Amino acid sequence: MNSAKLKNEVIHILGVGSIGSLIAFHLSKMGKPVSLIFRNREKEKLFSENGFRLGLTNSYLKRKLPQNSSQIVSREFQEHIQVLKKSSGLNFKSDSISTSDPKPIEKINKLIITTKTFSTVEAISSVYNHLSLQPEIFLLQNGMGVAEEVFSFFKSMNNEKVPKLILGTTTHGCMPDTDIFCYVHTGFGTCHISEYISEYNLKNTDVSYASLNKNSLISTLLQLPLNVELAPGPDIDIHLLKKLVVNAVLNPISAIVNCRNGLIFEKADIIRKDLISDLCTEISSIITNTYKEDRIKSLFTRDFIYNTVFDVCQVTYNNYSSMNIDFNSKRQTEIKYINGYLINIANKNGVGSALNKLLYDLISNTQPSVLDPEILTQ
């Protein structure tokens, strides 16, 4: 394949929600051809009828306006939003993964997955026949442990195809807008990415930006205007674990007591006295007994975890966690890859995980209507 063709190789995205659309929007603005893969033909048809357009509103910019902004500044900002929402010149295509879809998906060499973690292997399986022999696959999701499942899947296919896996975690905030296929970029954060170290690529334990192939997916991701940073070696584990510990405390508690993020510290004792404090102690013990890296052992103390969770709850005070929304809508949650991941590594290292198991069981085995405060405190 010549360099010109590689440079313009289509990037496919599975998981056309808020974060997937945020990335798709900016990839396309960079001039990269993007193909969105929808779960069914109905959603793809809606996208087609919408003119293959995605809209993005950078609402986080509002916070940068001075408090005494004139009406002219405000009007200019409103016009900026409207222009973004009418972005019609972006280069999008679409496919669907419906088994009844007669239209073939083109060969996939670069794939970004932003689905819910529990759908990852199913999503890859649905496009497996369209993958190249050595596809680059970027996982940008909540939780941990899914990369191992992905490699197990490829092994189960007799290692016919050998993926290069890229892991990522982001603090960007994005949510659906009122208009279809329009999204609001609510908070500008960071995105840390790293090539996943596995039996397939053990030699790449210290990847630097200079050593990357300029046509690789990871190089393209680093060019996104989303504060993307390369986090080689154990650095990516630190970033993934920071997000994991917040989700392991915030998500299940907010879901069980059905409250906004900022209220979990006053409502968590409905489930168990001193729950958050003791849970942070337990999570610290699990992580420091599992990871051998000195920086991880020294960083993930009980106080660090507690303060990190508290800070996130204050910043997102009025928000509802994704697990709260899923659980109380009786949809499947990502608990297996959050508290479930902590339980698994605790078991492997002989460390207690009773509180994580408590939350895991309440989320996994209980209907929202059963979680009456009086029952929880019995």
Model confidence pLDDT, tens digit, residues 233-251: 789 999 999 999 999 999 9
CB 341 within 8 A of CB 143: yes
Residues contacting 233, CB < 8 A, separation 6+: 194, 205, 206
pLDDT at position 2 is: 54
CB 54 within 8 A of CB 24: yes
Q: What is the pLDDT of residues 159-169, one digit of tens each?
A: 899 999 999 99
Q: Work out the pLDDT band at 197, boundaries 50, 70, 90.
A: confident
pLDDT at position 159 is: 87
Return the structure tokens found at 211.
Answer: 């050593």
Mean pLDDT over 175-204 rounds to 81
CB 96 within 8 A of CB 37: yes
What's the rounded Cα separation, in Å, for the pair 92 and 94? Answer: 7
| CATH 1.10.1040.10 in the chain, residue ranges | 236-377
| CATH 3.40.50.720 in the chain, residue ranges | 3-86+106-231
Return the structure tokens found at 83.
Answer: 């222009």
Question: By C-alpha distance, which of 35, 158, 183 is closest to 108?
Answer: 35
377, pLDDT greater than 60:
no
Mean pLDDT over 168-190 rounds to 89
Cβ neighbour number for residue 199 with a 10 Å cutoff: 8
pLDDT at position 361 is: 96
Higher-confidence residue: 173 or 211?
173
Cβ neighbour number for residue 364 with a 10 Å cutoff: 15
pLDDT at position 38 is: 86
What's the rounded Cα separation, in Å, for the pair 286 and 349? Answer: 8
Question: By C-alpha distance, which of 123, 116, 164, 163 is closest to 140?
Answer: 116
The whole model's pTM is what?
0.85
3-state secondary structure 132-185: EEEEEEEEECCCCCHHHHHHHHHHHCCCCCCCEEEEEEECCEEEECCCCCEEEE
Residue 92's φ and ψ, nearest 5 degrees, are -110, 150
What's the rounded Cα separation, in Å, for the pair 144 and 117? Answer: 9
Beta bridge partners of 108: 131
**What CATH number matches the domain at 3-86+106-231, 3.40.50.2300, 3.40.50.720, 3.20.20.210, 3.20.20.80?**
3.40.50.720
From residue 169, how far is each of 144, 147, 314, 360, 372 by CA, in Å? 10, 13, 20, 22, 34
Residue 309's φ and ψ, nearest 5 degrees, are -60, -45
What's the rounded Cα separation, in Å, for the pair 218 and 28? Answer: 16
Higher-confidence residue: 284 or 174?
284
Burial class (CB in 10 A: 0-12, 13-18, 19+), 132: middle
Fold of 236-377: N-(1-d-carboxylethyl)-l-norvaline Dehydrogenase; domain 2 (1.10.1040)
Question: By C-alpha distance, which of 196, 225, 54 is closest to 138?
Answer: 196
